[in-house]
Amino acid sequence: MMGLLGLAGTFIPEEISIILGITPTPITLILLQIIGGLYLGFAMLNWFTRSALMGGIYNKPVVLGNLMHCVVVFFALLRQLAEHFHFFLAIVTIIYLGYAVWFTKVMRSNPLDN
């Protein structure tokens, strides 16, 4: 999911801004590309740590970075939902809540107990 969003934000920021109803000004386009780069970075980080032990002290920075990202985005989306309900926004909010709960569970677990 992060990889697809990152690629879209990096390579088609003008189309995304039009879909979102935002005027594609130079600052908007560069911000969308920066956000796309951040998403691509997280996607690469997650992809390259996919076979490593996660939880407890193992890969704690990776889990914590993902957890913080998901919690912050969840609350930002929740705030937008409170002001303007949109079905697609509600679905994305639920997805981010699921990721936040999952990363919290991973953070508190011990992979060596399995």
Average pLDDT over residues 59-67: 92
| Inter-residue contact 89 to 80 (CB < 8 Å) | yes
pLDDT digits (tens, 9 = 90+) for 8-34: 999 999 999 999 889 999 999 999 999
pLDDT of residue 10: 94
The answer, yes or no, to whether residue 52 has pLDDT greater than 90, is no
Give the pLDDT score at 114: 60
What pLDDT score was predicted for residue 69? 94
Q: What is the pLDDT of residue 23?
A: 92
40 pLDDT more than 70: yes
pLDDT for residue 65 is more than 80 = yes
% of the chain exceeding 70 in pLDDT? 99
* Residue indicated by tokens 């909010």: 93
